[in-house]
Amino acid sequence: MATAEAENNEVITTADGVPLKESLKKALWQRKKTALLLVAPLFLFVLITFLIPIFDMLIRSVDNSIAGEQFPGVVVELSDWALDSTELPDEATFQALIQDFKVGAKEKTISRLGRRLNYEKSGMSGLFRKTARKIKKLESPESATAAMIAIDKKWGNIETWRLIKRESGKYSSSYYLAAFDAKKNSDGSFSMKSEEQQVYLNLFWRTIRLSFTITFLTIILGYPIAYLLSTVKTKTSNMLIILVLLPFWTSLLVRTSSWIALLQKEGVINDILVGLGLLGDDNRLAMIHNEAGTVIAMTHILLPFMVLPLFSVMKTIPPSWVRAARSMGATPFTAFVRIYLPNTVAGIGAGGILVFILAIGYYITPALVGGTKGTLISNFIAYHVSTSLNWGLAAALGTILLLLVLALYILYDKVVGINNMKLG
């Protein structure tokens, strides 16, 4: 009877007559609401401290609104002046230039545009400061063009105007070009900067190279340790893990000074090597304030991030697997390569990607022990954020770094599968 009824009305109801679907939905909504409430604080926190800043960084890396703000008149006048024109812009443009400069100089904001244009061409900052100083005395001249050229000859140079025209848009690719050591030519085409002017490509390459080296070293050093940890008794392994985590617990300055004490030319290691006669006194090894210093120190710091995922994977491998292989005739080496190693790939992958991503963005250690040859891309990002104040370039470099990490992550997912990743 009941089923026949249900078929007739096609609505199954609960005892009090509410349709079943609706009351189920209500019950589930209660649960969802609780879940949402539970994640809300963290979500807000992440939104404000992480997602919004990243979005802001993406915007900054292409933002060029400063041209429109400081040169509102000039930008409008320049819109019908062609980049490949062989003549200077017309008189109206120069009048707008004077007008914009007067406003900008009064509000003391015009030098910002000068700094911005200086990234593209040196001398622009000086030109803007000089012009801002002199523009106040300029009272409605007969020819604006002549008056500006009188202030500085550069206003009569067509290259100056081409630069302003090129950088007058709301958005600019110039930060990214700079980040790739490329530049825009006056005709709008791109080319690489000359060899000795290239900075960032080398730096990216060095960052990737060192990160790979560090990741490789942590695998080589971490694998046997993790294996040992996974085979000893729990009590012993807990104690050994504390030793592995020790780098986290020592203050950065203590660690750094001990590295310096150990690694410098007059340091402990060199002294021992010289003392043992393995090294001449006049060719002591340079192990700090260069790439070697960065690699040694960062391998030390990042080792736990390799050991812990490896350990957690190895703990799940029962000794009977290798024993089974051995009983079937496999040598210890074959049993390791064919049975043990393939089952720890998830741990190597997890540790590797963790260490690599941490290394590629590491800042403080290379800054302390890297000297000039061992600094990484993050150190330059920090430099542009806090010293040169070229935030656009810092943002572009940061964005490239972010994309690099994302690309790596996707690659890893394709090759190993992110679901196979086992952390701690």
Partner 1 sequence: MSSDNSLVRFVDIQKSYDGVSLVVKSLNLDVAHGEFLTMLGPSGSGKTTCLMMLAGFEPATHGEIYLKDNPINRVPPHKRGIGMVFQNYALFPHMTVAENLAFPLQVRDMDKSEQKQRVDRALDMVQLGPFGDRRPAQLSGGQQQRVAVARSLVFDPDLVLMDEPLGALDKNLREQMQYEIKHISENLGLTVVYVTHDQSEALTMSNRIAVFDDGIIQQCAPPEVLYEKPENAFCANFIGENNRFLGKVSEDNGDTVKVEIDNNAGTVIAKKVNVGGVGDRSTLSLRPERVTVNPEPGSLPNIFNGVAEELIYLGDHIRTRFTVLGHDDFIVKIPNSANHAQLEEGGTANIGWTAEDCRALDPSD
The two structure tokens encoding residue 265: 């030319």
Cα separation of 131 and 164, whole Å?
15
Nearer to partner 1, 133 or 338 (CB): 338
What is the three-class DSSP state of 1?
coil
From the list 15, 4, 6, 53, the residue with the least C-alpha distance to 398 is 53
Angle between helices 200-231 and 234-249 (to 10 degrees): 150
Taking the least distance from each CB to partner 1, the nearer of 58 and 345 is: 345
Residue closer to partner 1 (CB basis): 6 or 341: 341
Location of structure tokens 């196979």: 420
Beta bridge partners of 19: 13
First to last CA, the chain: 57
Nearer to partner 1, 346 or 359 (CB): 346
Cβ closest to partner 1, residue 47 vs residue 328: 328
Closest C-alpha to 65, from 21, 22, 116: 116
Q: How far is the CB of 183 from partner 1 (least distance, A)?
A: 51
CA distance 225 to 7: 66
User: For 401-418, what is the HEC assignment?
Assistant: HHHHHHHHHHHHHHHCCH
Q: Residues 255, 336: contact at Cβ < 8 Å?
A: no
Q: How far is the CB of 340 from partner 1 (least distance, A)?
A: 10
Closest CB to partner 1 among 123 and 342?
Answer: 342
State the Cα–Cα distance between residues 408 and 349, nearest whole angstrom: 12
Residue 216 C-beta: closest distance to partner 1, Å:
23
Nearer to partner 1, 174 or 344 (CB): 344
> For partner 1, which is the closer residue by CB, 38 or 324?
324
Shortest approach of partner 1 to residue 321 CB, angstroms? 5
* Residues at the site binding partner 1, with contacts judged by CB under 8 A: 318, 320-321, 323-332, 334-335, 338-339, 342-343
Partner residues linked to 190 by β-bridges:
184
Q: How far is the CB of 338 from partner 1 (least distance, A)?
A: 7
| Residues recorded for the chain | 424
Q: Which is nearer to partner 1, 149 or 330 (CB)?
A: 330
Question: Would you say 212 or 227 has its CB closer to partner 1?
Answer: 227
Half-sphere CA count of 274, side-chain side, radius 13 A: 13
Residue 388 CB, nearest approach to partner 1 (Å): 52
Radius of gyration of the chain (CA): 32
Tally of CA atoms within 13 A in the half-sphere of 3 that contains its CB: 0
At its nearest, how many Å lie between partner 1 and the CB of residue 336? 12
Q: Using an 8 Å Cβ cutoff, are 398 and 381 in contact?
A: yes
Q: Rounded CA gap, 202 and 377, in Å?
A: 10
Least gap, CB of 350 to partner 1 (angstroms): 16
3-class SS of residue 190? strand
- Name the minimum Å distance from CB 322 to partner 1: 9
Give the residue from 291, 263, 321, 133 showing the smallest Cα distance to 202: 291
Instruction: Find the shortest distance in angstroms from Cβ 231 to partner 1.
Output: 13
Phi/psi for 221 (5° steps) reads: -80, -35
